[in-house]
Amino acid sequence: MTADLFDGVDEVRPARETIADGAMLLRGFARPVQHDLLRAIDGIVTQSPFRHMSTPGGYQMSVAMTNCGSLGWVTDRTGYRYDAIDPDSGKPWPDMPPIFRELAGQAAAQAGYADFRPEACLVNRYEPGARLSLHQDRDEENYDAPIVSVSLGLHAIFLWGGLKRADKTARYRLEHGDVVVWGGSSRLVFHGVAPLADGEHALLGRQRINLTFRKAR
Ligand code: SIN
Ligand code: FE2
């Protein structure tokens, strides 16, 4: 065994990893459709461009966001909600591209959640330094359906905690094409994203794009 054979390999990355009960990381799952996804994202952002939304507390988020699907997640001074209308354009959010639906449904099924039909897809853009503090996804009407989260571009460190904010967090490196699915007893786990490290991705440049699929109603 020569040392250089393993140069740059800092961990073994199994194709799928159980993160917790009901939560799974599917590595590289979105790679076969990466070009279709990027084309579809371009179409979405021409209709509903990325914007930095404000939190109810008055802070501007470092992650830029847009949505597609019949409902989009928004935040402003009045709170968090799902809305059928893009507040910037005054029009409905762009349709969810069929490739998005298929990918989300297949990833959910792989993780044990059959018939996942999300009506909301939040598109998050992280530039170097952008982060998402620990939170629970709890703006949906019920928590029966899982969350499906697709990572594209620069890698991120995903923080995975417990059901209490103060619970200790594990760190997972999410690479281009990785998909995380969480539901069941993990549905309300606190999670977040550490400040994005700078870098240059071959397809996406200096950014990470995350697609988060949810059944909101
Ligand atoms: C989210 O929690 O909504 C997004 C997570 C991510 O960007 O990986
Ligand atoms: Fe989240």
Residue 203 token pair:
């397809």
Q: Which ligand is nearest to the CA of 209?
A: 1
How many angstroms does the Cα of residue 92 sit away from the middle of ligand 2? 23
The parts of the chain modelled with pLDDT lower than 70 are 1-11
Question: What pLDDT is stored for residue 1 in this prediction?
Answer: 42
Instruction: In whole angstroms, give the CA distance from residue 187 to residue 105.
Output: 17
pLDDT at 82: 98
* CB of residue 132 inside a 6 A radius of ligand 1: yes
Prediction pTM value = 0.94
What is the per-residue pLDDT for 9?
53
Q: List the domain boundaries for the chain.
A: 16-214
The confidence score (pLDDT) of residue 47 equals 98
Q: Report pLDDT for 119.
A: 97
CATH 3.40.50.300 fits domain 16-214: no
Which of 26, 53, 125, 132 to mutate for ligand 1's pocket (most ligand atoms within 8 Å of CB)? Answer: 132
HEC string of 68-121? EECEEEEEECCEEEEECECCCCCCECCCCCHHHHHHHHHHHHHCCCCCCCCCEE
pLDDT at residue 35, as a whole number: 98
56-87 pLDDT, tens digit each: 999 999 999 999 999 999 999 999 999 999 99
